[in-house]
């Protein structure tokens, strides 16, 4: 009874802490502008199934995709086994589903054991790729400090949890399972009491580890395990190369051309153009920041980064998330946001990073969970240009030409017409 009460308290605490943090994350995301569009639900559900659950984009590299799918499948399917552990803990039973399911129960646990061993092997490979082989996108300075440790912690945790599951089964001599049976000869010299103690220790460590993992997720890049689904659902359905217009600017141009349409009287403070801080971004942008897996595929595909420029799309997402977390802590302390004299622009993301972007969409295409660093970059560049008139010198020349000549070139419309006429005459 004492064990059941302790388990109940542990479960309630774990669920409460996770729910509390989840509520904070939702609040932080909802600090952004409401741009979550729910049109074409059939297409959106299709994106959710293919991109988030089916990991469609990962299969551009089939071997890595299969390994990732094994780990992801292990995370989802093993939770069925966790259900039995939770019910056993609350009801004081042992292998609650064994008798009702009969032979199917052994088949199910055998499948879990195979999956658990595969997960251990794949996590070991991923650790080698990150820490020994050191693939370029994992050795990047973007990941220095906590991000690099975070990835390793998760992989080690997966290995420990799966190992505990196998050892727990091996200690149970009342049941025979496919892979854990190979460990039983190593345990024959232990007494029944010792085996029961070892099994209980593994059982408790396994479930405590899972509860700890649950509450670690919101602080980790592995939050994408959850947020990848809504992120894929709310992904933009327009053509990637199409940049969204700014209705405010279109309206100002319309008023300039037709002043009679302008509202009479004081129109109030003009809306900020572009984005300076996380409050100016959309909810999808902020969800993107929390959904980022830090895999670095976006940065590896970025031509600006490849040529040595400061821009890293992965760093853009990580810095946006860091700023959003700082804003969230500010709200937690003060009950509402108190100006901290900081902003996403310059305090986190430098102008040089933004101006280096070629808007080629390579980062958007490379992302396996439908994140768009480009959208954040464009909005921040719009703020720099339209609110601060801050742009590289080369850009100002183009802007001046567009304003005066209606084209990026220095030639006036008359000169361009004359050039066309001369070309036509030469052809004749």
| Residues 225, 71 contacting (CB under 8 angstroms) | no
Residues near 237 by Cβ (< 8 Å), separated by ≥ 6?
Answer: 39, 40, 43, 44
Q: What is the pLDDT of residue 357?
A: 95
Mean pLDDT in residue range 222-228: 90
Q: Percent of the chain at pLDDT above 90?
A: 54
Q: What is the pLDDT of residue 400?
A: 85
Mean pLDDT in residue range 377-402: 88
> Residues 240-296: pLDDT tens digits?
888 888 887 788 778 877 887 777 765 556 678 899 999 999 999 999 999 999 999
Alpha helices by DSSP H, listed for 188-340, are 192-216, 224-233, 247-257, 283-291, 297-301, 303-306, 313-334
DSSP 32-100: SB-------HHHHHHHIIIIIIS-GGGGGSHHHHHHHHHHHHHHHHHHHHHHHHHHHHHHT-SSTTHHH
- Using CB atoms within 10 Å of the CB of residue 90, give its burial: 0 to 12 exposed, 13 to 18 middle, 19+ buried: middle
> Residues 80-123: pLDDT tens digits?
788 888 899 999 898 888 889 988 999 989 989 999 999 999 99
What Å distances lie between residue 80 and 1, 83, 97, 111, 174, CA to CA? 25, 5, 11, 12, 21
Q: What is the pLDDT of residue 424?
A: 87
Average pLDDT, rounded, for the chain: 90
CA dist 364 and 355 (Å) reads 17
> Residues 187-205: pLDDT tens digits?
888 888 999 999 999 999 9
pLDDT at 78 exceeding the cut of 80: no
Residue 102 tokens read as 């009969």
Residue 392 φ/ψ region, left for φ over 0, alpha for ψ in the -120 to 50 degree band, beta for the rest: beta
pLDDT at 395 exceeding the cut of 90: no
> Residues 302-335: pLDDT tens digits?
999 999 999 999 999 999 999 999 999 999 999 9
Q: What is the pLDDT of residue 299?
A: 95
CA dist 104 and 397 (Å) reads 73
Q: Which residue has the tokens 């909810």?
A: 283
| Residues 214, 11 contacting (CB under 8 angstroms) | no
Q: Percent of the chain at pLDDT above 70?
A: 98
What Å distances lie between residue 23 and 16, 211, 258, 287, 374, CA to CA? 11, 18, 47, 14, 28
Q: What is the pLDDT of residue 63?
A: 87
Q: What is the pLDDT of residue 75?
A: 72
- Using CB atoms within 10 Å of the CB of residue 127, give its burial: 0 to 12 exposed, 13 to 18 middle, 19+ buried: middle
Q: At residue 282, what are phi and psi to the nearest 5 degrees?
A: -85, 165
DSSP SS3 for 263: coil
Q: What is the pLDDT of residue 267?
A: 58
* pTM (two decimals): 0.86
Q: Which residue has the tokens 């937690």?
A: 332
Residues near 383 by Cβ (< 8 Å), separated by ≥ 6?
Answer: 272, 273, 274, 275, 276, 280, 345
DSSP H or E run through 13: helix 2-29
Give the sign of the dihedral formed by CA 397, CA 399, CA 402, CA 403.
negative
| Residues 316, 356 contacting (CB under 8 angstroms) | no
| Residues 130, 152 contacting (CB under 8 angstroms) | yes
DSSP SS3 for 30: coil
Least confident among 10-19, 64-73, 170-179, 216-225: 64-73
Distance, first Cα to last Cα, the chain: 100
CA dist 18 and 6 (Å) reads 18
What interhelical angle do 2-29 and 313-334 show, nearest 10? 110
Residue in 147, 210, 307 with CA at minimum distance from that of residue 15:
210
Burial 377-414 (b: 16+ CB within 10 A, else e): bbbbbbbbbbeeeebeeeeeeeeebeeebeeeeeeeee
DSSP H or E run through 185: none
């Amino acid at each position: 009874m004492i064990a059941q009460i302790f388990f109940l308290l542990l479960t309630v605490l774990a669920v409460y802490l996770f729910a509390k943090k989840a509520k904070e994350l939702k609040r932080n995301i909802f600090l952004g502008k409401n741009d979550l569009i729910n049109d074409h639900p059939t297409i959106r559900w299709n994106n959710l199934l293919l991109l988030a659950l089916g990991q469609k984009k990962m299969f551009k590299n089939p071997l890595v995709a299969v390994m990732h799918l094994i780990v992801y499948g292990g995370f989802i399917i093993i939770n069925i086994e966790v259900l039995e552990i939770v019910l056993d803990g609350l009801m004081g039973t042992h292998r609650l589903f064994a008798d009702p399911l009969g032979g199917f129960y052994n088949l199910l646990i055998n499948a879990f054991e195979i999956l658990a061993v595969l997960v251990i092997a794949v996590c070991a490979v991923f650790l080698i790729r990150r820490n020994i082989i050191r693939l370029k996108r994992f050795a990047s300075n973007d990941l220095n400090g906590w991000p690099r440790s975070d990835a390793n912690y998760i992989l080690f945790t997966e290995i420990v949890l799966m190992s505990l599951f196998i050892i727990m089964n091996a200690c149970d001599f009342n049941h025979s399972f496919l892979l854990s049976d190979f460990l039983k000869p190593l345990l024959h010299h232990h007494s029944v009491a010792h085996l029961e103690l070892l099994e209980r220790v593994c059982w408790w460590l396994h479930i405590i580890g899972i509860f700890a993992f649950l509450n670690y997720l919101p602080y980790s890049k592995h939050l994408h395990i959850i947020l990848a689904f809504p992120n894929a659902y709310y992904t933009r359905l327009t053509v990637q190369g199409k940049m969204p217009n700014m209705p405010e600017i279109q309206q100002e141009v319309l008023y300039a051309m037709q002043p009679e349409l302008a509202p009479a009287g004081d129109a109030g403070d003009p809306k900020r153009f572009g984005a300076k801080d996380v409050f100016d971004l959309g909810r999808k942008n902020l969800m993107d920041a929390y959904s980022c897996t830090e895999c670095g595929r976006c940065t590896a595909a970025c031509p600006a980064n490849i040529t040595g420029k400061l821009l890293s799309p992965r760093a853009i997402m990580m810095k946006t998330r860091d700023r959003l977390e700082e804003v969230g802590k500010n709200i937690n302390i003060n009950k509402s946001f108190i100006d901290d004299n900081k902003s996403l622009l310059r305090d986190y993301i430098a102008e040089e990073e933004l101006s280096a972007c070629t808007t080629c969409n390579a980062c958007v295409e490379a992302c396996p969970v439908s994140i768009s660093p480009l959208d954040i970059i464009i909005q921040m560049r719009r703020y720099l240009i339209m609110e601060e008139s801050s742009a590289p010198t080369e850009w100002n020349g183009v802007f001046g030409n567009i304003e005066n000549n209606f084209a990026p070139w220095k030639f006036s419309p008359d000169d361009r017409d004359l050039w066309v006429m001369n070309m036509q005459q030469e052809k004749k």
